[in-house]
Amino acid sequence: MKQINSIFKNKKFVLASGSPRRKQLFTMLGLEFIIDPPEIEEHFDPKLAPVDLAKSLARQKGKLVCEKYKQAIVVAADTIVVVDGKVLGKPKDAVDAFSLLKQLSGREHEVITGVYMYWAANQKTVEFAENTTVLFKELSDEEISNYIATDAPLDKAGAYGIQDISAVFVTKINGCFYNVVGFPVAAFYQRCMQLFGAVQDK
């Protein structure tokens, strides 16, 4: 896979995530990377606004992993789903997944991904969050149950993955599609251009 821009040339990344979707997106970008998911109990601060919470969760993951690498660029991310200001996490089980999808039925919600990047070699940190708005059609109980029966929603924030069969639930999206998948590739690319370009211009 060829890289779209030379800014990634000779750059080694550490993806601090076990998400198969993020692995696929890093591969799509042609990055040279290894995967090192942190073993961490995430700390949810209910006082934080959703955007700040997403960045906080990504930061917690990234800081734990970056201590192990002195040259590579560590990238951590966390995606949350928000409806009416309420954060919907990953479902605990099928019953919980049904409840989450009922809350999204016929509603507009936000998908927010916080990203933490640390380049130890140059002691540079970048943090940002991307927000995408998604509108679901009205879902019947049968549609929800049939989707849950595929087991696809059980490891995903908000109990759905726009890249799977639940795409049929989505009637409108405003923002980055890949952010809903789990990683905002366009925003990440722009931040990399700024981060690496600033260093290379010196």
* Residues 130 and 50 sit within 8 Å (Cβ to Cβ): no
CA 64/CA 67 separation, integer angstroms: 6
201 labelled catalytic: no
Q: Strand 32-35 vs strand 12-15: parallel, antiparallel, or unpaired?
A: parallel
Q: Strand 108-119 vs strand 32-35: parallel, antiparallel, or unpaired?
A: unpaired
Catalytic residue among 45, 52, 78, 141: 78
What are the Cα distances from residue 98, in Å, to 86, 108, 144, 164, 169?
Answer: 16, 17, 6, 17, 14
Residues recognised as catalytic: 78
